[in-house]
Structure 1
């Protein structure tokens, strides 16, 4: 009567369960399931079940436990009676079939269970009251965007395929007039990504300072996507406490990997774990966003990467200071941490979830920013902020709504620093931030403009009302940035403040600076024009100073390397156009850390006038495009049939491209990454390369080609979408090859 159940084997039916749970691409051998959805398993006994099946079922339960010290008190250990569906744990175990030698069970984790690695045990109490436990299996439990009861439920299937399962990403960077595509392999379905992602949460628990904000995770808190996002965001955002990435903006990457060299997230994550959690060198904000997207998609939280062009960092008003040589003045390195400036672009993430901590109406996309920064609130963490709250100017809502509101709505105030050191207000055309907020389109390679999600149309009554509400909220705060906003605003600045300055000092000058190409091929000279006019009918002698600087991606301008000065006289409101050229010989050597230039025009009255109106400033950013690639793909490509891509690389520079290497990758097209060393390419020369490959997966597949050279500041990547026709039969062993 006291005989225990002898479990010979537990069949977790990984292939079938994982297919139903949308995790078969991760593994068909280990069990990876999602909460709120049933999965099946079969217990095979070594001997017939004694005493009758029903009687034994009533004495048997399953135990599910997670974490290093499972406990019923914190919800990391639950006991689930097999014969009862109304148990208080929320877990369910139903009997699908049974006989004397086996039981087929269906297990369902509640839709709010903590995510993590679980151990499953069988607990049996004999007729004499003796309890025994035996291990059955282990499994990973993830969030479930397919389950209506889960707080990450996403109702649109096409969006689930894109924001949870698609491993091929595109990140947009550069300038709003000429956005550049950066192909990125998220790799969230790779076999080790579940272990890596859950290990990140464990590392946070082990190494997080006990007094940090947010605090170290407790087991039951891993049921909340909000808390999981904040913890992982902080791990990427912090430059201390086992940070995942080390930032570098100087262009000196000899002791690490340059940010633009990374092909995807997996090499970064694997290196971090292999080096016992040492920060990986190097990353920038967009790399952090891409890695965070990979981890959150792995865990089952719908996530996308978002680019904001012309993005304010640190304040709702940004004072830009120029000297009399038309050079943008950047702060010293000691001041950099507190400097508010406009970045050419900034990249963050959006995660889809319900916000049960807020009033109704703010579920859906939440913005989080993994760019390393110091918010002054313990560990660095920015978001999640409801995108709807950002558009509405609800700066009072958590988390960090004001930071994102400033990034997309800040006002830019120009000043000229005179030779005496005094600051003089200057006029300029309005400079808008928060332009062309973009993300990869669903199921396509197109760039989707989502600016309307973040802000009302420029100049609309809705925009005016939102800005007034935001300024009022900031004015009511005693301390700038209080309440977790991370947003600073000087008290004298408010809507209409610049208009009052204009009323006191009438605007008499106008200037417009324009480059013929906002994206200029590296090696070509930049043709510039400046249109100058005066609102006065009298003759007016003017001084026009043009200056050029290299611009880092964090908005800091480097030392001015080129300057030209013109003297012109305008009269009778006539527009005078000046034309000049910025040669490659001047800007080429100045490119140290980015492929962006900032050209500034400063126009003012020419001395010796006794009174001078404020100067007028105009500026233009120019992106320098690395040498282009021409890729030819056959019109017809069939699964398992060998084919080839032809690549043509031209060197437009007046000097050789040294150490050229072409790398090719593509899931379902190329097994692992291949590299071809081309050596140097002489000035003006063209090289051709044939790349053979055999597609193993049908459908739309992405081929990514990467060209690097020690002569280039950044590599050039291009992607081609190849539509692979399904083979008549799929018996080839290549179909089972891991890609």
Structure 2
């Protein structure tokens, strides 16, 4: 065979009379349905490993003589290739999961065409393959370039490491193009719809390009191609490529300052725009992202590649700088928090869970894995995190790969709050419940949240220790006085904030307490700024009794300090005038923005390419007029560009509205987004999202 004469043909439009193979049909519609890949590409075959797909070869005469010639297919991946002899069904041995097969079934061989069923091994690499056909004799070989196809993971196949048994789960975590990101604070959770954009033109190609531009691929293409069969490897490569900290990654992060050189993270509503911008810009990073943007784009890429994924929000997520599972926070005697610790707690942090088996760790670590693309710490030299088994986090198996200690601290560290005066600690509380207060993801088939907290954290009720750490419930250095702080109701912009401090005296002596309570503004991932409101209090409390203190912060006090999605940090410090003991309670919460109303004529389900009218309106519920109010409406796949309404002065109770016409260009779930900005405080913007279901 080494000395045979080889002739190579392209069958795309060839008129060479010596070319017996005239055309090839990838049977894209039929294969797409069979492989659950409808919509991922309009003109390219996309199939899943371990499941046969069929191709049809056509010629003007007999394609080949099985008695004198061999028909061999060849799949090529960079410098790697695999020859696949085409065999009749009767010649095939028992099916093998670990080798390529090409089979002609009875009735599929015709004088001028042949249907071949090709099956990739279940452990094949995820990539864009080239397919060749060879017609060989002992002296010659005719080679035909048939085209390319994309091979993905297969969560429908039991032998695949990403196999997911329940259809409802696959529908939600693989095929769904719509998701929710939970944000805000544990006391006031908000949800933001997100369009994953799996089926937008060019997204599949952008995901494949991401793999081709990874450091691993640029360093050693063949090694990278080989390792791409493993979802653990794939998830680490993709995770690192979502941020641009040490590669040609997709997103540049920014958490403070001006965003004028890019898009403010809060203004993104879907992954497709981000991926397509990156792919069309010679791999320059897209500006800007924060945790929920990084995570949502990662979720898109993983679903496209065939790995079940979901976006998860941890409320009160800890960043443990020294790895001791303790987060220290420092307060003054007046309750003002100051940022001198390397540790921090984000009001919320968003990452992704990916579903896969972990043969490197054992069956106990199979299932959901945390993969976090937000660049915080390096993992084995690169800015990524995971995959980290959720089961290992729950059981504190700290030696398991990858990044278990860091993720454990994110959901289960203890918070030690220290009151400091003149360099000395004069009071202390330990809170074992604050971190990982809620862990939310979107429920299957519903917009309601599912709380995953118990899958991450052991139930501490009744326990005295977990993993060697002594647990103390929230309290002070004295067990005889308990102070709690509660926000009454759900704070809304333009309305007062009502605060209730409850003091329980559990000793036989009366107490005289003098204290301070104050409020500070902070961004969700940073330390608070200077206090914008404070109050002093003095209270006498009898033995074994409970008293409450009620305070109100008017909206005039806070609205000029808030910016965008800021959080309010509230703290109360009480001092016993007799014993000199100091007590602290703290809480953080977000303030809900005013609502924008979006009404679609005829309901929220629309037909493809049928025009509908939408009325978008905002009523000023504040007690002050809004100057230069601008109402903006946009929606990918529904509207061309942005539609804007403006009014110079929007008085209290007055309404601004915009009527727009929408036409859906593709089926699936789409999002309309409306924003209201004004010049009173340019950073205070109301945002509202509306889900639109598009049917063909």
TM (normalized to structure 2)? 0.88
CA-to-aligned-CA distance 1:661-683 (integer Å, 9 cap, x gap): 3324376xx35565333345614
- Give the match's secondary structure for 2:228: helix
Q: Hey, what does 1:547 align to over in structure 2? A: 518
Q: Hey, what does 1:528 align to over in structure 2? A: 499
Show the 5 A alignment for 1:495-574.
Answer: 495-496=470-471, 506-517=478-489, 519-574=490-545
- Give the match's secondary structure for 2:616: strand
2:59 corresponds, among 32, 45, 49, to 45
State the distance in 1 between where 2:387 and 2:445 align: 25
Show the 5 A alignment for 1:6-25.
Answer: 6-25=20-39
Q: Hey, what does 1:597 align to over in structure 2? A: 568
Structure 1 residues 35 and 673 mapped into 2: Cα distance closer, same or farther (>3 Å)? Answer: farther
Asked if the contact 1:13/1:40 (under 8 Å) is kept, the reply is yes
State the distance in 2 between where 1:642 and 1:381 align: 44
State the distance in 1 between where 2:512 and 2:76 align: 81
Show the 5 A alignment for 1:49-448.
Answer: 49=63, 52-56=65-69, 59-67=70-78, 70-71=79-80, 77-83=81-87, 85=92, 90-96=99-105, 97-128=108-139, 130-205=140-215, 218-237=224-243, 239-314=245-320, 315=323, 316-331=325-340, 339-375=342-378, 377-418=380-421, 420-427=422-429, 431-448=433-450
Q: Does 1:705 align with 2:680?
A: no
Q: Following TM superposition, by how much is the alpha carbon of 1:691 offset from its aligned partner in structure 2, in angstroms? A: 3.8
Q: Does 1:624 align with 2:594?
A: no
Structure 1 residues 559 and 46 mapped into 2: Cα distance closer, same or farther (>3 Å)? Answer: farther
2:580 corresponds, among 612, 618, 636, to 612
Structure 1 residues 232 and 660 mapped into 2: Cα distance closer, same or farther (>3 Å)? Answer: same
CA-to-aligned-CA distance 1:443-462 (integer Å, 9 cap, x gap): 2222122222222334155x
Structure 1 residues 635 and 622 mapped into 2: Cα distance closer, same or farther (>3 Å)? Answer: same
Asked if the contact 1:5/1:124 (under 8 Å) is kept, the reply is no
Q: Hey, what does 1:730 align to over in structure 2? A: none
Q: Hey, what does 1:489 align to over in structure 2? A: none
State the distance in 1 between where 2:223 and 2:516 align: 56
Structure 1 residues 523 and 499 mapped into 2: Cα distance closer, same or farther (>3 Å)? Answer: closer
Q: Does 1:646 align with 2:615?
A: yes
Report the more deviating stretch, 83-92 or 282-291. 83-92
State the distance in 2 between where 1:93 and 1:276 align: 38
- Give the match's secondary structure for 1:456: coil
Asked if the contact 2:671/2:692 (under 8 Å) is kept, the reply is yes
State the distance in 2 between where 1:139 and 1:276 align: 23
Asked if the contact 1:520/1:526 (under 8 Å) is kept, the reply is yes
1:663 corresponds, among 630, 633, 644, to 633
Q: Which stretches in structure 2 are left out of the alignment for 5+ residues?
A: 8-17
Q: Following TM superposition, by how much is the alpha carbon of 1:303 offset from its aligned partner in structure 2, in angstroms? A: 0.4
State the distance in 2 between where 1:79 and 1:500 align: 66
Q: Hey, what does 2:15 align to over in structure 1? A: none
- Give the match's secondary structure for 1:55: coil
Asked if the contact 2:430/2:473 (under 8 Å) is kept, the reply is no
Structure 1 residues 300 and 708 mapped into 2: Cα distance closer, same or farther (>3 Å)? Answer: farther
State the distance in 1 between where 2:414 and 2:54 align: 58
State the distance in 2 between where 1:424 and 1:234 align: 44
State the distance in 2 between where 1:506 and 1:423 align: 14
Q: How many residues align?
A: 666
Q: Following TM superposition, by how much is the alpha carbon of 1:723 offset from its aligned partner in structure 2, in angstroms? A: 6.8
TM (normalized to structure 1)? 0.83
Q: Following TM superposition, by how much is the alpha carbon of 1:356 offset from its aligned partner in structure 2, in angstroms? A: 1.3
Name whichever structure is richer in strand by fraction: 2
Q: Following TM superposition, by how much is the alpha carbon of 1:597 offset from its aligned partner in structure 2, in angstroms? A: 0.5
Asked if the contact 1:428/1:616 (under 8 Å) is kept, the reply is no
Structure 1 residues 579 and 49 mapped into 2: Cα distance closer, same or farther (>3 Å)? Answer: closer
State the distance in 2 between where 1:199 and 1:190 align: 15
- Give the match's secondary structure for 2:375: coil
Q: Following TM superposition, by how much is the alpha carbon of 1:179 offset from its aligned partner in structure 2, in angstroms? A: 1.1
Structure 1 residues 191 and 106 mapped into 2: Cα distance closer, same or farther (>3 Å)? Answer: same
State the distance in 1 between where 2:673 and 2:617 align: 11
- Give the match's secondary structure for 1:226: helix
State the distance in 2 between where 1:585 and 1:272 align: 43
Q: Following TM superposition, by how much is the alpha carbon of 1:38 offset from its aligned partner in structure 2, in angstroms? A: 1.1
Structure 1 residues 275 and 679 mapped into 2: Cα distance closer, same or farther (>3 Å)? Answer: farther
State the distance in 2 between where 1:147 and 1:267 align: 31
CA-to-aligned-CA distance 1:128-177 (integer Å, 9 cap, x gap): 2x334221111111111112221111111111111111111110011122
State the distance in 1 between where 2:222 and 2:566 align: 40
